Structure 1
């Protein structure tokens, strides 16, 4: 699963995210985040058989991970409303209960998104403080749901060990590969456990001629070949790996793009990233990227990082580039054009492309693999569009520090004892 991260910090200091050197501004106006919080809060309210509903007060932080399925993990604060759980009303129809009597709480939830409007709660823990009483913890876990787990989870170790051994045994590469980094991991409780893991591998100095398995002597080569893998495994109730599948893409290391002797016509060679042949190959690559991904907007080439060419039965190009989301939607535009401008704040992809060309046969075979860089949210929307407050930027002596007002729900006017968050801005700025 491709993994990307959104920092949604609504009542704490927000620093700029860096994507290839560009600083990105984060604000509270993410409609999907609000919908995810809405589903989580309704799930919590639905589990209470008596008493009043709780209302959203403030979203404090969260992350967003995008792959085959999108997951939102976030914290939000709630306050008791004046509508009972049996009233048939939604929490948006309620007002806040009197401040002296109202219970408050903080919830941590993970919510998956499978379709444009389909959200489901995977896990949720809420700590509730009654108007006069101790903190009560309430938990909800969807055991049958697929949800993210830590890449450091000990349960992954035997699966990753098996995955690396399988790769080394089944590939024809001259050297053994080692695990470099676990990028994302998901788990699902079935009659056993399903795992989906994405990770990178790197070539070591141990050749298969002299080493059957990885040993402590095997060290990763800084200029060796690298790979990106996706592994699915089923672990049965006896903790055995009963089924698995693996898909890895290998890319040449830096040592293959150094100047080579003139008598090596079939060897890969480094070429200028702005050469006409690279431009032509990139055109095929970006068309392939926009065709194969399900994103609703076109991407265009932003930066070409490196390129190599190799004479085979034709020409083969290996290109690494950054692609960025444009303002041209696929629904309104038949194809990507030069007039499609890059979104000031949008998705960025780090891509590797292999383009095989045989001009005399009018044959082009591009393959493109991309991973998402850190996620960036939508820019500020017109007032009144979002249920959350918007960004405020303040200048400090050390530079620009981006601070957010508290992302408070703009609810209906409340009763006596407390003003509604929507009626008066309550900023909670933290200096740093």
Structure 2
């Protein structure tokens, strides 16, 4: 997953935002919702230097804040479209890319409105690539504090200095090494300011024998650990001019207790692209097509999650999306790899449970599926109509589930790759609740 962060206004404006009145949820039919999302999505697409534009899928959260200025905050989901970023089309003229390589994402944005024009205050997008590469980049305004990726090479000299600083200024008997960067922020102020939170771990290299950390110093599994916060200022020559650090250490026994204990017989996660799942998925889709009375075969499009558990055999639990193919059961005796997915065909959200005992050639598959809600593909709604329809979406956090009233965008083209069609009145659609 990649992160795109856009920060266009600085601390003064954000302070104004926080001093406003309490946020009020706004309805999908409020014209400002679409205008605000449109402006933020255009900004995201404008920064793409290659690949395809993103197309709006739905807005899940939206709120309006009135204070000394008017601000809109919202979350929206996007999917990769079939229009090139360099083609010059508006994202409304693109359909969703009909490919396994299509990327998806979710953005959180705050927009300001002045003289009927929207401008971005903050925007953060988490993009999940498909099988193909997605080109992303980060943009930050001058003097704004902005998040930095943990693997950003600009952090390397600062982190190296931070570890050396800790080892030279503590009385511990052993040298410590970097374990993980938890978060990092930067700011351009006549140089570069860095604020980094990171964890450290004791190595097997004692200070008595080793004057400094070496590449062959190994982290001790039961060694002491800690969490640190470092602040560094680099001048215009990228030299560290000032550095401060604070660390909280805890003994190794605490680390051991905090680690998850082995659990024989407990379910374990399996990577969704693991070769181990090939046979299991084959049994799952075969069972689905046997039980399903649909005239066309379905094939697995996306595997969302998979686990296995050893129980006098192996029990697999898999969540996947199955999509209707162009292969009819009347003309084909079985599903083959050549069966293509039907673009406007039915999609199923499935849960499979497959119990296997290979030494007995025993396979017991159970598959339960439900149809995914479908949007009638249209391009745009004429003036006076909302471009959204209301839909209920489940959100799960920390073991709790709640329903969100989402705004699903309805202005898609009827076929992937088609040229923009003349405007027509939107058709009504039903949403399963």
Q: Same fold (TM over 0.5)?
A: no
TM range (shorter): 0.3 to 0.5
Give TM-score, length-normalised by structure 1: 0.38
Higher RCO structure, 1 or 2 (CA under 8 Å, sep 6+):
1
